[in-house]
A and B are shown apart, each in its own frame.
Chain A
Amino acid sequence: MDNIIALAFAGFIAENVILSQFFGICPFLGVSKKRSSALGMGFAVLFVMLISSMVTYALYYLVLEKLGIEYMRTIVFILVIASLVQMVETFIKKISPALYKALGIYLPLITTNCAVLGVAIMNITKENNFGETVVYTTAIGLGFIFVMFIFSMLREKIDKAPVPKAFKGIPIALIVAAILAILFSRFGGII
């Protein structure tokens, strides 16, 4: 039980995907200009990440390892993620048009989000079992949403601030992210 809590905490704050492992920097900088779009992207990523981690876990241990072709990992995983994204998109469109409207435009972008592939691979290299995979992935996804949300609020403020011309846009966003990363890295000592 302690192990699970530690894992969840690590995924959520101490090993935060964006601020300490650098996965998903593109959406972090790209869609964090508005609070609503940051949240939309965050939930879409959590959703796809959770499903794809479970599917890739099953595929790796039931198919790839049984057949002794672990080296096919990268190819199989990226194909699974790409088709899952497509499937999830069609599925949501049918089941809940409202949710589709909210997440719709972010879903295709997720295929090239390294957080999804990165977490799927890390669950394998860390040798997490199925329960740990689910907990760790959920924690990572929630951490992603959390940081996206904080950062989008900060960026709404920065937009109005008088920033030197050379720092406008991405440079100042990165420096704000650095300050946020200092805060998050300090939580690492708790575990």
Chain B
Amino acid sequence: MTKLENLLKGLVKENPLFVSVLGMCPSLAVTTSLENALGMGIGVLFVLVLSNFMVSLIMSSPKLAELVKPVRIPVYIVIIATLVSVVEMLMHAFLIDLYNALGVFIPLIVVNCIILGRAEAFASANKPVDSVLDGIGMALGFTAAISLISIFREFLGKGTITIWGDAVLNLKFFFNFLNIEPISMFVQPVGAFLSFGLILATLTAFGNFFKERKARKVKANG
């Protein structure tokens, strides 16, 4: 597998959220505004890249790998938990609003299946450089996916899109045009399940459509 493939596969082909359906809890909870989703994405990017790097560094030295193998899951968890604590403290120091908005979901990055999953499935068997690229790709894929959900939810629920801090896109005119209020249900827990379900179904429908077209093309070419 080339380096570029390692980087790009996380974005679409093996998207952690929409294809593997991992890391559901934060993606449902923090998608009430685009800002929160991006903040979560940055946290996951930091943790995933560094944990992939450290795990592959440990596992690529034969002596250490042999030592670590029987207790590798606890070792991974300690590495991840340490990185998450770093993220938590950094956010508390520099991005206090985001820290309050994400709340308990920052420490919960520890149990995000994507991170442990990549450590076990990819980083433990690949070189550090490839693992870092894989981490970047996966984290960006995750960020893109939760951003998509949060844009959908925030637009329908509040009529705005908060990019970062005061940079707010006001799209209320759309609702004024239709002469209705924004549908606040979408920023409530109900909306999380509903939006995720609808988006996932839409993407599945697209996927099926392309698959069928490809199959038909192959058939036509005989």
**A interface residues, Cβ below 8 angstroms from B:** 19-26, 29, 71-75, 77-79, 82, 111-114, 117-118, 121-122, 125, 164-167, 170-175, 177-178, 181-182, 185
Q: Tell whether A171 pairs with B116 under 8 Å between CB atoms, given A26-B25, A182-B190, A185-B188.
A: no
B residues less than 8 Å from A111 (CB atoms) = 111
Q: A74-B85, A174-B196 are in contact. List 9 more A-B contacts (CB 8 A).
A: A25-B28, A71-B89, A74-B88, A82-B73, A111-B111, A113-B111, A118-B108, A175-B194, A177-B193
Contact A121 B107 (CB under 8 A): yes
Q: Tell whether A166 pairs with B204 under 8 Å between CB atoms, given A117-B110, A178-B193, A178-B197.
A: yes
Select A170's contact among B21, B78, B205, beta carbons within 8 Å.
B21
Q: Tell whether A181 pairs with B193 under 8 Å between CB atoms, given A22-B28, A25-B28, A166-B201.
A: yes
Q: How far, in whole Å, are A152 and B26 apart by their CA atoms in the complex?
A: 23
Count of chain A to chain B residue pairs whose CB atoms are closer than 8 Å in the complex: 117
Contact B205 A78 (CB under 8 A): no
Q: Distance in Å from the Cβ of A180 to the closest Cβ of chain B?
A: 8
Residue of B nearest to A113 (CB): B111
Q: Tell whether A82 pairs with B200 under 8 Å between CB atoms, given A19-B189, A74-B107, A178-B194.
A: no
A contact face: mostly helix, strand, loop, or mixed: helix
Select B198's contact among A74, A82, A175, A185, beta carbons within 8 Å.
A175
Q: How far, in whole Å, are A88 and B78 apart by their CA atoms in the complex?
A: 21
Q: How far, in whole Å, are A178 and B146 apart by their CA atoms in the complex?
A: 18
Query: Counting CB contacts under 8 A, is B102 at the interface?
Result: no
Query: Counting CB contacts under 8 A, is B77 at the interface?
Result: yes
Contact B201 A171 (CB under 8 A): yes
